Amino acid sequence: MRKKNMTIVALAIFAIFSPVVSAAQSELVIADFDTGDKPNNIGGDFGAWDKDPYDETQGTRLSFEPDDALGDPAGYSVRLDYDVDSPNPAYNGFWLKLNGEDASKYNILSFYVKGYAEKGFTKRIKIELKDMSLRPSAYIVSGVTDEWQKITIPFEKFRRINDWKNMNEFVIVFDDINSRPKTGSIHIDQISFA
C-alpha cells in the first residue's frame, strides 16, 4: 500500500510541475534587465555602440530605468538615448551577446519596446541577428509608440542566418535613414527566443 501512495504522490508532483517545465522550454529569456546591471540572463555582455566613437555629433547612450515592460515594480528596462543627427553618415545602437546559444528549438525573436515621449523617438528601428559568421541579418520594426508593445519576429525573416544552433549577437541599429526624429530615446525589455 505504501508503494501505491508513493506512486500517487509522484504523479501528483509531476502533474504540478510538468506545465512549468514545458513552459520553460517554450521560451528562453535572453535579457530581462531586472538586476539593473550586466550580464544578461544567459551570461552575455551588452552595451551601446557607435559607428565612429570620435564623431561627437552622433552616438547612443545606455542606462537602466525602473520601467519594467511586464509591470514588475522591482524590474528594469534599458533606455537607449540615440543621436544620428550628424553632418557625417551616422549609425549606432545597442548590442547584446548571445554566447553561442542554440536557438534551433525556437522560431521567434520577441522583445518589448516603447518610445520615451518626453524626449521624442523614432517609430522605426532596425533589428539584426548574427550567427557565428558575424554576417548581420536585418529586419525593420515599424510602429513604435510611447506604450509598451511586444514585438515578435519569425526567424524566417532573418534570411542570412545559417546556423541557429550557434548564435552570436542581437543588435539594434539607429541610422540617419530610418530614424525620425534623428535624436530620441527608446526603452527595450524582455528579449527572448520562443
Residue located via cell numbers 506545465: 19
Burial bucket for residue 8 (CB in 10 Å: 0-12, 13-18, 19+) = exposed
The answer to whether 42 and 27 are in contact (CB under 8 A) is no
- Phi and psi (nearest 5°) for 157? -75, -20
pLDDT tens, residue by residue, 174-193: 999 999 999 999 999 999 99
SS3 category, 193: strand
Q: Using the predicted structure, report yes or no on whether residue 20 has a pLDDT greater than 60.
A: no
Q: What is the pLDDT confidence band of residue 167, given thresholds at 50, 70 and 90?
A: very high
Tens digits of per-residue pLDDT, 76-126? 999 999 999 999 999 999 999 999 999 999 999 999 999 999 999 999 999
Question: Which domains, from first to last, does the chain contain?
Answer: 28-193 (2.60.120.430)
The predicted structure's pLDDT at residue 25: 62
* Enclosing H/E stretch for 43: none
Length of the chain counted residue by residue = 194
pTM: 0.85
Q: What's the one-letter identity of residue 95?
A: W
Cα four-point dihedral sign 141, 32, 63, 90: negative
In a 10 Å sphere around its CB, with 0-12 CB exposed, 13-18 middle and 19+ buried, how is residue 4 labelled? Answer: exposed
Which pLDDT value is given to residue 21? 32
pLDDT given for residue 77 in this prediction = 98
How far CA 74 is from CA of 56, 94, 168, in Å, comes to 35, 23, 29
Q: Please report which confidence band the pLDDT of residue 154 belongs to, taking 50, 70 and 90 as the band edges.
A: very high
